[in-house]
Amino acid sequence: MQNPLLENFKTPHHTAPFNEIKEKHYLPAFQELIKISEKEINDIVENQDEPTFENVIEALAYSGEKLDVVSNIFFNLNSAETNDEIQKIAQEVSPLLTEFSAKISQNGKLFKKIKKVFDEQNSPPLEEWSSQRRDRGGLNLNEEQQMLLNETYKGFVRSGALLNDSDKEKFKNISIELSKKSLQFGQNVLAETNNYFKHIKDEKDLAGIPEPILQQYREEAKQRNLEGFVVTLQYPSYIPFMTYAENRELRKELALANGKKGFQKNEFDNQNLIKEIIKLKQEKAQILGYKSFADYVLEERMAKSPDKVQAFLNELLVKAKPYAQKEIEELKTLAKSDGIDEMQSYDHAFYAEKLRKQKFDIDDEELKPYFPLEKVQEAVFGLARQLFGLEFVEVHDVQKYHEEVKTYEVFEVGSPKSEVRRNSPKAESQKLKAILYVDYHPRKGKRAGAWMTSFKNQFKKDGENSRPHISVVCNFSKPTSDTPSLLTFQEVTTLFHEFGHALHGILADTTYPNLSGTSVKWDFVELPSQFLENYCYEPEFLKTFAKHYETGEVLPDEKIQKISDSKNFMEGYQTLRQLGFGILDMAYHSAVGALERLSVKEFEDQTTEKTQLYPKNPETIMSTSFSHIFQGGYSAGYYSYKWAEVLDADAFQYFKENGIFNLEIAAKYKILLSSGGTKDPMELYKNFRGREPKVESLLKRAFG
């Protein structure tokens, strides 16, 4: 029986053949593709020719292409459309891939060839090498080739290539265990999210909740064959409840359920898993000679060291905390008028919304009719056209993994449309920019949150510019029988955020796949996403798309101005919240041995003490569902959201000073996006801005 994952995809633009793929195809495909990739590596190792950049470094960069594609397909589905079978396969596949990766990174013969090429190019030694002396390299490499060589060499060293055989084996086993445990962490969080729902029969218990949200709760109940209403822990259900429900006891119940995920001493408890993951990461770092996992990670980030990150977070904490405390005092005054003497964290969203209405006369539910999902998407597409010359054409012959997914071909403005292009592969490769998948609504098999990912990276090979396949996944409210999907303003900014990441992938124009698109330093990766959010607050731009879905009426000027004015509402609180996440992340990954003496709950409470503005609750915890650092790629990197805010505030200020649609500046920014990881990020930023970013830009935007 043929396996579609092992065939050449006979689909438009060689997109994933989702209609033909079954769960049973994945494991055999991975097993076969790992063999094929191992042969590619072996061919590099056994090549008798003198090691060169082309036959070692470049050959390695292009190896495993099909394995990468199948991995992307599988793990993207494990996040967006998973089931018990896929999760079971993931537990089998993850260690196979980790072991394969370890085999490559610890292949002594391969590393010997890499080191020979590296030494030949980088003489004098790398630590003496600088951008001013690139022309002295022995192999006459261009800038991107030099970056690939350096990153390849460092990648092998950081994966244990210089270890003795015994430590190599330990390193490999640690990596395999980490992949299993990280995967289990995420599966536990998803299970806990899906397992809880609150069935409410009496509509009086839902006082304060706007009718469109009530309708959503009715639909959820109907899907479960229940009367009345159902609230879940999925964000489009949970967040509106916490924001509008007048019933404080129910707010408390929902908040407790959300805060207990992975913290209930059941089969999905993540407490011991956290300790095991942190211990393994620490062992991994120490085998390589680093003091902590944070030291290991940050060596390859813009920030460079834990001390610099701590100083950065503490500087923001000192400056933001007085603003946050003042904001909370305002909320407490409001709560007191309702007879609440001691505000709790589960009261925050409710009273923040009340205060926001008072200050700015803005009601999220009142605004939602002006932000139908379809029009918001049109707006972000239009912005990409205006700034970067991109055109999005919906297509129906690209296969999808779920019926709710929509697919688009992305072209340069003015180029021929898809049918013409498909008849000429060369024209297609020159003009098509990307394939874009969008997947907007929550489902049982989709994890919470929003993210951008790719099914295939961009790269150049054999004269062809192979274009990327990009995906944007969110969890916005579904349309009902009589209403389209309407977004809160926060969801509008979420879509722009993820689309900023997508542009990083869509505009990619590098030679090598591992330097393409979002393959940049982790504390640089959030710049494009956070940058694009700024446009949501610009009246000039908002007027172009904030229109009532029924009447077509443009959102009144005074409301648009209030949205713009409210940009920094609760900025102190939000800053402290983000700093709490960042400080906790750094503590887990740099406080060596601390978890051996404390419970996860004690460790979290002690670490985040300075960022807490409400009383602690002994029944809730953040860590056990902190997927960013225990499942995702943000270990010792959560600070990067704030780090990137400095970059995005500084970058957008450049536009503000010269016009938010300034095409000359947009052209420079497009170069930054298309360059991916081919240059040092600070160098890329300085080429765009003319100088390094200033933290004052963020402080000015946040606090005036």
Question: Which has more pLDDT, 318 or 429?
Answer: 318
pLDDT over threshold 70, residue 426: no
pLDDT over threshold 60, residue 418: no
The 3-class SS string of 623-657 reads HHHCHHHHCCCCCCCCCHHHHHHHHHHHHHHHHHH
Report d(CA 425, CA 409) in Å as an integer.
Answer: 15
Q: Quick one: pLDDT band at residue 592, thresholds 50, 70, 90?
A: confident
Instruction: Look up residue 522 and give its two tokens.
Output: 């982790």
The dihedrals phi and psi of 177, each to the nearest 5 degrees, come to: -60, -40
pLDDT tens for 194-208 read: 999 999 999 999 999
Report d(CA 44, CA 656) in Å as an integer.
Answer: 51
- Quote the pLDDT of residue 414: 74
pLDDT over threshold 90, residue 212: no
Q: In Å, what is the CA distance from 581 to each residue of 282, 556, 568, 587?
A: 20, 37, 20, 10
Q: Within a 13 Å sphere around the CA of 311, how many CA atoms are in the beta-carbon half?
A: 7
The dihedrals phi and psi of 233, each to the nearest 5 degrees, come to: -90, 0
pLDDT over threshold 70, residue 382: yes
What's the sign of the alpha-carbon dihedral 162, 163, 168, 170?
Answer: negative
* String of DSSP letters for 22-72: -HHHHHHHHHHHHHHHHHHHHHHHH--SPP-IIIIIIHHHHTTHHHHHHHH
Average pLDDT for 57-72 = 97
Residue whose entry in the numeric block shows the structure tokens 């610890």: 106
- List residues bridging with 391 in a β-sheet: 411
Instruction: Look up residue 176 and give its two tokens.
Output: 């395999």
Q: If you classify domain 4-105+107-158 with CATH, what class do you get?
A: mainly alpha
Average pLDDT for 498-527 = 95
Question: Which has more pLDDT, 129 or 226?
Answer: 226
- Quote the pLDDT of residue 174: 95
Question: Which residues contact residue 279 at a Cβ distance below 8 angstroms, ignoring those fewer than 6 apart?
Answer: 595
Q: Within a 13 Å sphere around the CA of 125, how many CA atoms are in the beta-carbon half?
A: 1
Beta-strand pair 469-473/451-456: antiparallel
Average pLDDT for 269-274 = 97
Average pLDDT for 338-349 = 96
- Torsion angle of alpha carbons 213, 215, 218, 220, nearest 10°? -60
- Quote the pLDDT of residue 97: 94
Asked about 692 being catalytic, the answer comes back as no
Buried b vs exposed e over 260-294: b needs ≥16 C-beta within 10 Å?
Answer: bbbbbeeebbbbebbbbbbebbbbbbebbebebbb
In the chain, domain spans: 4-105+107-158, 199-259, 291-361+571-636, 369-518
Report d(CA 147, CA 9) in Å as an integer.
Answer: 32
Is residue 257 within 8 A of residue 557, CB to CB? The reply is no
3-state secondary structure of 661: coil
Q: Quick one: pLDDT band at residue 417, thresholds 50, 70, 90?
A: low
CA 535 to chain centre: 20
Look up residue 370 and give its DSSP letter: G
Report d(CA 191, CA 366) in Å as an integer.
Answer: 34
Average pLDDT for 524-553 = 95
Beta-strand pair 469-473/432-439: parallel
Instruction: Look up residue 601 and give its two tokens.
Output: 């709950």
Average pLDDT for 20-26 = 97
- List residues bridging with 199 in a β-sheet: 230
Average pLDDT for 593-616 = 95
Q: In Å, what is the CA distance from 213 to each residue of 365, 368, 371, 473, 485?
A: 9, 11, 15, 21, 11
Domain 369-518 grouped into CATH 3.30.450.20: no
- Quote the pLDDT of residue 700: 86
- Quote the pLDDT of residue 427: 40
Average pLDDT for 421-447 = 75
Residue in 177, 276, 498, 604 annotated catalytic: 498
Alpha helices in 106-247 (DSSP H): 108-121, 143-158, 165-195, 211-223, 235-244
pLDDT over threshold 50, residue 404: yes
Average pLDDT for 291-320 = 94
pLDDT over threshold 60, residue 129: no
Average pLDDT for 654-661 = 96
What's the sign of the alpha-carbon dihedral 404, 410, 414, 416?
Answer: negative
pLDDT over threshold 70, residue 170: yes
Q: Quick one: pLDDT band at residue 137, thresholds 50, 70, 90?
A: low
- Quote the pLDDT of residue 126: 47
pLDDT over threshold 50, residue 554: yes
What is the average pLDDT value for the chain, to the nearest integer? 93
Report d(CA 156, CA 104) in Å as an integer.
Answer: 9
- Quote the pLDDT of residue 431: 83
pLDDT over threshold 90, residue 424: no
Strands in 216-307 per DSSP E: 229-232
Residue whose entry in the numeric block shows the structure tokens 């076969």: 32
In percent, how much of the chain has pLDDT > 90?
85
